[in-house]
């Protein structure tokens, strides 16, 4: 975080001051730097939100991880009225149901130094659950000015301003939904200013019919608006950044979208102004309203605002003290889960397997996604000769993918990274054709796209609204029929939409633009990182994952987060082709990494909605590999059926149903346009285990753990561990905290009721209803089953099997990792032989795996 330069508080400006003409007189350089620093600090606090078509989970507090969790909770409460810890009524239910025990609560009080210093006792924590949650929020300028007697008969000014700013942003950023887009050359602030001066309805909504008269004071540029408002507010410079962050939180959805644009710009080595322009817009609104309210009550309100914000630090300190008990309960909630997790890990992870590599016939590399854990466990139980491996689902390929005959280039890697390589579709039959048919396939697809675009456009014109169904005739009725009676069809591949059927089996994503040396280097890095640079089985499956749903704006959020909200199919297929390439294998052999001639890599996809495994590019396999694949099908059938039965109760299905009947029900759910919960996604996620598979083999982890294989003995320099702690660990942390935030604060950090969603700008996000702020985060239906919360808001517990010195070296080298640990954003454990130690206050401590009774006796929990 940037800090403000030390300077004297500015003198409050006269209550009514005309806007500076042409930017006014030059302001003092120190003052200009202070304004710039405050605005930059406020903007840095906003985390990005990815668009719908590449939705990935993000910690909405990512820009604040440099502060302890409780301090952030206090800031969010005071600056935005936003909850960070679980709601007290949720915690009360957890206590009353026995989910949190007295032993959990006592353990939390022992582990939290601040609770010990404050002398908190169990009775104090229980009393807090029966008391109303304290309110801490500081007001903004528009809140104190909105004080006329009729304010309860109309939209509040805060609501009206949010609506106006949101509608302006929706029009400005739309690229896919409307047939007309505004000119964007002058920027967002200029577009908003022009829009507002021509909007004659917003004044009536706000009870200000003469609002347009005040617009003459509106500065012409973003910079002038920032300076004008901050000087007029008359607040101490020390609170500017906090006030500005509070302003941004009123439009947090759109601020998060602008932060995404800034994130992408930084990955490409450039800057983006949109978040600063949004801040200026929202600031300027307050000053406009100040121009409209030249009366005694407004003067008193303005003076109260200045007085309240002069005590910003006291508000934050009081909120932090009040939230200490909530932090204790957060830790107590985690204690019960962690104790059970430790028991499971210690029960199965003490002895390495006797079976050598020669007994393994198939290796299957799955994404670390929590939905892979039950399937890996089921496959291993169904056939001991299969060995499963956990690795990030993009399989280490830093690629962007462009489907055939489109400009729809998209990243297929974690959002933390920028693509470094390109993948394109090429037509490649198993038996080489006389000529390359890629151009023919592309032309055929473009022609179909042109026809479908004309068809879609015919329904967008207002005059065609009633005639479209009549013109579409029986074809449209068939679409309605699919919704009334969902089919049991397999997952459709959107990347092949519009491609003639004869090309689909042979249209393959392939790396382009890499020479042989680059391919060899890539293959070597990936195999080493995956732990597959030794003891390879005859058949190695690369299993990506993807979901299947209909009429679902948030479908991408159910796909692979490591692939930027896409399925893992492209990455798996590209890597299989790369590792099967004889030239690449020869290059690897020259470097001492020998892939046995009998080893074949096969790309597959795990459909997480229906729990099916699909094979890809099977026509390219040699005969022996195809035979092995065929022999695997009964194993897949048994394992997938087991996972479906485990998942059935949470979906309201009968786990005792016949195999085919249960499978059919899941497929119908996947194709049902009215289904708000096609699957539960990553709900329940709570742990990330970085260790060899034998540490968890046989443990029933209930689909709540990310599993990444790692062998410290093969990572002498710690480079793989460093990669895991700075990439997959951050990604899983993002996932964990998006689920946490959407559960604890569904109104502000979740996207609300899915049934009420309207898509904005084609891919930007959703409104709940037809307005308000852009909604980010997860919908209620992704977290709550209508009766209870399915997801438990627990901070991630990371368990690593590596020497303490190696882990500490990574912590010392990377500030982000250090902040996550020191500030309480996740828990860290490590194996010490057969025991588990936890990282706290910079040192390793023995992990409590038993409950303690009041008299000090050890009791099983």
pLDDT digits (tens, 9 = 90+) for 741-784: 999 999 999 999 999 999 999 899 999 998 899 999 999 999 99
How far, in Å, CA of 592 to CA of 533, rounded? 10
* Average pLDDT of the segment spanning 726-737: 98
In the three-class reduction of DSSP (H, G, I as helix; E, B as strand; rest coil), residue 264 is classed as helix
In the three-class reduction of DSSP (H, G, I as helix; E, B as strand; rest coil), residue 836 is classed as strand
The DSSP result for 662-696, as a single string, is HHHHHHHHHT-TT-S-S--TTTT--EEEES-GGGT
* Average pLDDT of the segment spanning 245-272: 97
Give the pLDDT of residue 456. 53
Q: Do residues 816 and 65 touch, judged by C-beta distance below 8 A?
A: yes
How far, in Å, CA of 380 to CA of 372, rounded? 12
Rounded to 10 degrees, what is the CA torsion of 165, 169, 170, 173? 180
Distances (CA, A) of 271 to 262, 274, 343, 411, 575: 6, 10, 49, 19, 33
Checking if the pLDDT of 181 tops 50, the result is yes
Checking if the pLDDT of 207 tops 90, the result is no
Q: Which residues are CB-contacts of 792 (< 8 A; sequence separation ≥ 6)?
A: 333, 337, 684, 686, 743
pLDDT digits (tens, 9 = 90+) for 601-623: 999 999 999 999 999 999 999 99
State the burial class of residue 15 (Cβ atoms within 10 Å of its Cβ: 0-12, 13-18, 19+). middle
Give the pLDDT of residue 177. 66
Q: Which residues are CB-contacts of 701 (< 8 A; sequence separation ≥ 6)?
A: 341, 344, 373, 377, 687, 707
Checking if the pLDDT of 17 tops 60, the result is no
Q: Do residues 211 and 200 touch, judged by C-beta distance below 8 A?
A: no
Checking if the pLDDT of 541 tops 60, the result is yes
Q: Measured on CA atoms in the order 364, 368, 369, 373, is the torsion positive or negative?
A: positive
Q: Do residues 798 and 688 touch, judged by C-beta distance below 8 A?
A: yes
How far, in Å, CA of 117 to CA of 110, rounded? 10
* Average pLDDT of the segment spanning 710-731: 97
* Average pLDDT of the segment spanning 455-469: 44
Nearest residue to 227 via CA among 2, 24, 41:
24
Taking the CA of residue 153 as centre, how many other CA atoms within 13 Å lie in the half-sphere pointing to its CB?
A: 5
Give the pLDDT of residue 848. 74
Rounded to 10 degrees, what is the CA torsion of 530, 531, 533, 534? -150
Q: Taking the model in full, what pTM does it have?
A: 0.93
How far, in Å, CA of 332 to CA of 95, rounded? 10
* Average pLDDT of the segment spanning 561-582: 97
Checking if the pLDDT of 791 tops 60, the result is yes
Give the pLDDT of residue 272. 97
pLDDT digits (tens, 9 = 90+) for 798-837: 999 999 999 999 999 999 999 999 999 999 999 999 999 9
Determine the Cα angle at 809 with ends 807 and 811, to 5°: 70
How far, in Å, CA of 116 to CA of 104, rounded? 15
Give the pLDDT of residue 86. 98
Give the pLDDT of residue 201. 82
Checking if the pLDDT of 25 tops 90, the result is no
Checking if the pLDDT of 13 tops 80, the result is no
How far, in Å, CA of 53 to CA of 51, rounded? 6
Q: Do residues 120 and 349 touch, judged by C-beta distance below 8 A?
A: no
Split at pLDDT 50, 70, 90, the class of 435 is: confident
Q: Do residues 810 and 725 touch, judged by C-beta distance below 8 A?
A: yes
How far, in Å, CA of 31 to CA of 18, rounded? 20
What phi, psi does 560 have (nearest 5°)? -80, 115
Give the pLDDT of residue 542. 98
Split at pLDDT 50, 70, 90, the class of 290 is: confident
* Average pLDDT of the segment spanning 639-647: 98
* Average pLDDT of the segment spanning 642-669: 97
How far, in Å, CA of 209 to CA of 211, rounded? 6
pLDDT digits (tens, 9 = 90+) for 332-389: 999 999 999 999 999 986 566 554 556 899 999 999 999 999 999 999 999 999 999 9
How far, in Å, CA of 579 to CA of 526, rounded? 10
Q: Which 8-state DSSP code applies to residue 215? A: G
* Average pLDDT of the segment spanning 699-720: 97
In the three-class reduction of DSSP (H, G, I as helix; E, B as strand; rest coil), residue 723 is classed as helix
Give the pLDDT of residue 9. 33
Order of strands across the sheet that contains 827-832: 705-708, 687-690, 797-800, 827-832, 835-840, 843-846
Q: Within 10 Å of residue 804's Cβ, how many Cβ atoms?
A: 15
In the three-class reduction of DSSP (H, G, I as helix; E, B as strand; rest coil), residue 837 is classed as strand
Checking if the pLDDT of 8 tops 70, the result is no
Give the pLDDT of residue 858. 41
Q: Do residues 164 and 180 touch, judged by C-beta distance below 8 A?
A: no
Range with the lowest mean pLDDT among 161-175, 176-190, 533-547? 176-190
* Alpha-helix runs per DSSP H in 7-98: 29-44, 69-80, 88-96
In the three-class reduction of DSSP (H, G, I as helix; E, B as strand; rest coil), residue 255 is classed as helix
How far, in Å, CA of 255 to CA of 276, rounded? 9
The shares of helix, strand and coil residues in the chain, as percent rounded to the nearest 5, are 50, 10, 40
Q: Do residues 564 and 731 touch, judged by C-beta distance below 8 A?
A: no
Split at pLDDT 50, 70, 90, the class of 208 is: confident
Checking if the pLDDT of 457 tops 90, the result is no
Split at pLDDT 50, 70, 90, the class of 580 is: very high
Structure tokens at 733: 């942390």
pLDDT digits (tens, 9 = 90+) for 467-494: 444 445 555 566 667 777 899 999 988 8
Average pLDDT, the chain: 90
The DSSP result for 185-205, as a single string, is TT-HHHHHHHHHHT--SHHHH
* Average pLDDT of the segment spanning 154-160: 88
Q: Within 10 Å of residue 641's Cβ, how many Cβ atoms?
A: 17
What phi, psi does 248 have (nearest 5°)? -65, -35
Q: Report which listed range, 146-150, 434-438, 645-649, 673-677, is most confident.
A: 645-649
Split at pLDDT 50, 70, 90, the class of 260 is: very high
Give the pLDDT of residue 298. 82
Q: Which 8-state DSSP code applies to residue 591? A: T
Give the pLDDT of residue 153. 77
């Amino acid at each position: 975080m940037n800090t403000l330069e030390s300077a004297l508080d500015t003198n409050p400006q006269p209550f009514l001051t005309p806007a500076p003409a042409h930017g006014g007189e030059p302001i003092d350089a120190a003052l200009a730097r202070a304004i710039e620093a405050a605005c930059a600090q406020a903007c840095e606090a906003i985390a990005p939100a990815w668009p719908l078509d590449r939705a990935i989970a993000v910690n909405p507090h990512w820009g604040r991880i440099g502060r302890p969790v409780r301090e952030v909770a206090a800031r969010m409460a005071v600056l935005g009225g936003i909850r960070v810890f679980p709601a007290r009524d949720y915690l009360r239910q957890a206590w009353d149901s026995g989910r949190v025990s007295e032993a959990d609560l006592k353990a939390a009080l022992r582990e939290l130094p601040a609770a010990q210093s404050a002398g908190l006792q169990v009775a104090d924590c229980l009393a807090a659950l029966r008391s109303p949650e304290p309110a801490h929020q500081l007001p903004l300028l528009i809140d104190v000015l909105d004080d006329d007697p009729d304010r309860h008969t109309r939209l509040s000014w805060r609501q009206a301003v949010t609506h106006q700013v949101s509608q302006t942003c929706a029009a400005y950023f739309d690229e896919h939904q409307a047939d007309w887009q505004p000119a964007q050359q002058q920027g967002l602030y200029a577009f908003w200013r022009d829009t507002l001066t021509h909007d004659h309805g917003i004044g009536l909504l706000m009870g200000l019919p003469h609002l347009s008269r005040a617009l003459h004071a509106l500065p012409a540029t973003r910079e002038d608006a920032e300076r004008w408002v901050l000087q007029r507010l008359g607040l101490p410079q020390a609170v500017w950044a906090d006030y500005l962050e509070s302003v941004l939180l009123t439009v947090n959805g759109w601020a998060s979208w602008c932060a995404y644009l800034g994130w992408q710009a930084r990955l490409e080595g450039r800057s983006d102004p949109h978040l600063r322009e949004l801040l200026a817009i929202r600031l300027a609104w307050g000053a406009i309203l100040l121009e409209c309210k030249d009366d005694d009550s407004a003067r008193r309100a303005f003076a109260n605002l200045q007085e309240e914000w002069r005590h910003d630090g006291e508000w934050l300190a009081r909120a932090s003290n009040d939230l200490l008990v909530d932090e204790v309960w957060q830790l107590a909630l985690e204690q019960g889960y962690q104790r059970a997790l430790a028991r499971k890990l210690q029960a199965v992870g003490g002895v390495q397997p006797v079976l050598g590599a020669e007994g393994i016939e198939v290796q299957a590399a799955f994404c670390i996604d929590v939905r892979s854990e039950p399937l890996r466990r089921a496959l291993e139980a169904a056939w001991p000769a299969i060995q499963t491996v956990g690795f990030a689902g993009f399989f280490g390929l830093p690629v962007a993918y462009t489907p055939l005959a489109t400009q729809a280039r998209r990243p297929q890697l974690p959002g933390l990274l920028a693509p470094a390589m390109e993948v394109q579709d090429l037509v490649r039959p198993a038996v080489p054709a006389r000529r390359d048919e890629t151009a023919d396939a592309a032309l055929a697809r473009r022609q179909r796209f042109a026809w479908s675009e004309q068809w879609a456009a015919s329904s967008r014109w207002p005059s065609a609204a009633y005639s479209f169904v009549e013109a579409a005739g029986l074809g449209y009725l068939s679409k309605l029929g699919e919704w009334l009676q969902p089919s049991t069809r397999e997952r459709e591949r959107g990347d092949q939409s519009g491609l003639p059927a004869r090309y689909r089996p042979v249209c393959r994503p392939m790396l382009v633009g890499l020479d042989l040396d680059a391919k060899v280097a890539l293959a070597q890095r990936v195999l080493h990182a995956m732990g597959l640079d030794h003891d390879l089985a005859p058949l190695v499956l690369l299993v990506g994952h993807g979901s299947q749903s209909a009429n679902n704006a948030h479908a991408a959020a159910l796909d692979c987060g490591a692939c930027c909200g896409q399925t893992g199919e492209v990455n798996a297929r590209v890597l299989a082709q790369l590792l099967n390439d004889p030239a690449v294998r020869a290059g690897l052999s020259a470097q001492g990494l020998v892939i046995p001639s009998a080893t074949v890599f096969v790309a597959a996809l795990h459909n997480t909605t229906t729990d099916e495994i699909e094979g890809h590019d099977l026509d390219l396999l040699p005969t022996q590999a195809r035979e092995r694949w065929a022999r695997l099908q009964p194993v897949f059938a048994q394992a997938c059926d087991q996972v479906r039965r485990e998942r059935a109760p949470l979906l309201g299905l009968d786990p005792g149903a016949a195999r085919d009947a249960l499978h059919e029900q899941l497929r119908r759910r996947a194709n049902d346009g009215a289904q708000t919960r096609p699957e539960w996604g990553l709900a329940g996620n709570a742990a990330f285990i970085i260790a060899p598979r034998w540490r968890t083999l046989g443990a029933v982890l209930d689909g709540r753990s990310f599993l990444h294989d790692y062998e410290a003995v093969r990572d002498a320099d710690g480079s793989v561990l460093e990669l895991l702690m700075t990439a997959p660990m951050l990604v899983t942390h993002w996932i964990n905290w998006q689920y946490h935030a959407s559960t604890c604060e569904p109104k502000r950090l979740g996207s609300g009721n899915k049934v009420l969603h309207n898509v904005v700008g084609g891919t930007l996000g959703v409104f709940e209803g037809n307005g308000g702020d852009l909604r980010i985060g997860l919908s209620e239906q992704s977290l709550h089953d209508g009766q209870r919360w399915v997801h438990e808001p627990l901070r991630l517990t990371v368990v690593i099997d590596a020497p303490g010195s190696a882990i500490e070296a990574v912590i010392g080298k990377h500030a982000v990792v250090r902040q996550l640990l020191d500030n309480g954003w996740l828990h860290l454990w490590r194996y010490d032989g057969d025991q588990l130690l936890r990282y706290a206050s910079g040192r390793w401590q023995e992990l409590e795996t038993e409950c303690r009774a009041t008299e000090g006796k050890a009791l099983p929990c």
